[in-house]
Amino acid sequence: MTTTLVPYDEALTRYEPVLGIETHIELGTKSKMFCGCSTEFGAPPNTQVCPVCLGLPGSLPVTNQAAIEGIIKIGLALNCSIVEWCRFARKNYFYPDMPKNFQISQYDEPLCVDGHLDVEVDGETYRIEIERVHMEEDTGKSLHVGGATGRIQGADHSLVDYNRAGIPLVEIVTKPIVATGDKAPLVARAYATELRELVRALGVSDVRMEQGSMRCDVNVSLMPAGSSVWGTRSETKNVNSLRSVERSVRHEIERQAGVLDAGERVIQETRHFHEDTGTTTSGRSKEEAQDYRYFPEPDLVPMAPPREWVDELLTDRPELPAARRARVRAEWSLSDKELQDIVNAGALDLIEETVRAGAEASAARKWWMNELSRRATEQGVELTELPVTPADVVRVSALVAEGALNDKLARQVFDGVLAGEGTPDEVVEKRGLKIVSDEGELSTVIDEVIAGNPDIAEKIRGGKVAAAGALVGAVMKATRGQADAGRARELIIQKLTG
């Protein structure tokens, strides 16, 4: 069945989207959730396993305290209440990548409840209510071999890697997100972005979406504009980039509007998002509620985190992203837009480090946001991946501030640093980059330029001082940009009118 998509803007004239986002975050603990196996990413298959995470008979799980500390930090940062007592539960289902045939999770007794996270889109704040944050363990990974797409369809056989089985996984579930209108895809993206920043600031996960340590399931439903009865939702599983979160919501709005316009009903199902086409396709139907036969995990004691410990985690936590943004906005006198550009460019850490290392905020911002951002874009890499450090930017800024370099020469210094020619000082030395402010040298060049441009010189003699710009340009050209332009201008006017 193919659905005619309804253009986005048109869909929004007739329907109001309701979102819900479930995010899984793998914690960066050294060992797994219930055993001592390493969690290191990228090890050869099935080398980080033991009887506990393979679910062998007679093995018993033990809760990882560092993981509980991690989830409580996340819960507190999301303004949740941390319950005084809760339990793990067994979620029973069969899947080849889950060796125990059940997953230890939490069901009706999650550890963190009733929080919120504020996100900003186009200058407006949206409060995303958090229903729950609970602790569970990750599954292994299936690898389907022999097919063209790496999917199970068309594969010759499948292999299972249990290294990931048992890695601590935190699930964060929002309450329904309503009244976002045409901003729904942006709000979804802003939420995922802010959540990622928050968890990264807490230092409890590397939250790398491309490696799967953070992944979002995005629920979307539509209701007729003005209605208060929610529609049937679809759930797009394991969306693994911020951009895809936004695109999948957008696509589901266009698709579901098409289904509803045709007088059909939206099917409750999981869907897969395809990066290449920006569309979703049908996965497994969820019309029959699955019975996971949850029951309290009999092999683990209940969790009752002491209040003093929770209070300590709250007191000792690092500065959170929202507070940090407010601080740098004030310290660096930025507009909302300027700050947003810095955050979007992924430059906040770099600029802050550069300022801490001694550069003026305005200079640090200028180099990272203009010159270096442009180069990162040209090379198709993240700003942090450029081979230039905050210390390099501090040094170049200092050379500009003391008049040894102008902006044009500074750019050439960055050329050299990026080309691996060494530190800024080494590049200056090797390339012979320095401002010619030596009066004698500059004076000689100016005399030549005046001699070569008699018409312009005459105008200046006649009082048209503005014409000096053309001669300054000629001086800069003659010195390959290394003259002190201000000083050259003074000297030209002095020579012709003095």
Binding site for Zn ion (CB under 5 A): 35, 37, 50, 52-53
Pick 36 or 150: Cβ nearer Zn ion:
36
Q: 60, exposed or middle or buried, with CB in 10 Å at 0-12, 13-18, 19+?
A: exposed
Closest CA to 256 of 239, 275, 280: 280
Q: Which helix H or strand E contains 90, and what residues bound it?
A: strand 89-92
Q: C-beta of 338: minimal distance to Zn ion in Å?
A: 48
For Zn ion, give the closer residue by CB, 33 or 86. 33
Question: Minimum CB separation from Zn ion for residue 165, in Å?
Answer: 8
Looking at the Cβ atoms of 60 and 262, the one nearer to Zn ion is: 60
Nearer to Zn ion by Cβ, of 28 and 416: the residue is 28
Nearer to Zn ion, 62 or 314 (CB): 62
Least distance CB 37 / Zn ion (angstroms): 3
| Helix, coil or strand: residue 444 | helix
Rounded-to-integer distance, Cα 294 and Cα 208, Å: 30
CB of 302 to Zn ion, least distance (A): 22
Question: Is the CB of 40 or the CB of 275 nearer to Zn ion?
Answer: 40
The closest alpha carbon to 66, from 234, 202, 174, 204, belongs to 204
To the nearest 10°, the Cα dihedral for 288, 290, 291, 292?
Answer: 180
Query: DSSP secondary-structure letter at 284?
Result: E
**Cβ nearer to Zn ion, comparing 53 with 74:** 53
Task: Closer to Zn ion by CB, 32 or 247: give it.
Answer: 32
376 by Cβ neighbours in 10 Å (0-12 / 13-18 / 19+) ranks as: buried
Whole-number Å distance between alpha carbons of 192 and 174: 11
From the number of C-beta atoms within 10 Å of its C-beta (0-12, 13-18, 19+), residue 136 rates as: buried
Least Å distance, CB 203 to Zn ion, is: 24
* DSSP, residue by residue, 202-269: HTS----GGGTSEEEEEEEEEEETT--S----EEEEEE-SHHHHHHHHHHHHHHHHHHHHTT-----E
Nearest CB to Zn ion, comparing residues 6 and 165: 165
Q: Burial-class residue 454 by CB neighbours within 10 Å (0-12, 13-18, 19+).
A: exposed
**Secondary structure, 3-state, 354-420:** HHHCCCCHHHHHHHHHHHHHHHHHHHCCCHHHCCCCHHHHHHHHHHHHCCCCCHHHHHHHHHHHHCC
CB 320 within 8 Å of CB 198? yes
CB of 98 vs Zn ion, minimal distance in Å: 14
Q: Which is nearer to Zn ion, 53 or 192 (CB)?
A: 53
Smaller CB distance to Zn ion: residue 50 or 418?
50
Q: How far is the CB of 103 from Zn ion (least distance, A)?
A: 15
Q: What radius of gyration do the chain's Cα atoms show?
A: 30
Q: How far is the CB of 34 from Zn ion (least distance, A)?
A: 8
403 alpha carbon, distance to own chain's centre: 37
Cβ closer to Zn ion: 53 or 303?
A: 53
- Name the residue with tokens 């009865």: 229
Q: Would you say 87 and 296 are in contact if contact means Cβ atoms under 8 Å apart?
A: yes
CB of 139 to Zn ion, least distance (A): 13
Helices and strands in the chain: count of H runs, count of E runs: 17, 14
How is residue 345 annotated by DSSP?
T
Q: Tell me how far apart the alpha carbons of residues 6 and 19 are, in angstroms, rounded to a whole number.
A: 18
Minimum gap (Å) between residue 91 Cβ and Zn ion: 19
Least Å from the CB of residue 48 to Zn ion: 7
Closest approach, Cβ 296 to Zn ion, in A, equals: 22
Amino acid at 217: D
Of the pair 37, 72, the CB lying nearest Zn ion is at: 37
CA pair distance 138, 48, nearest whole angstrom:
14
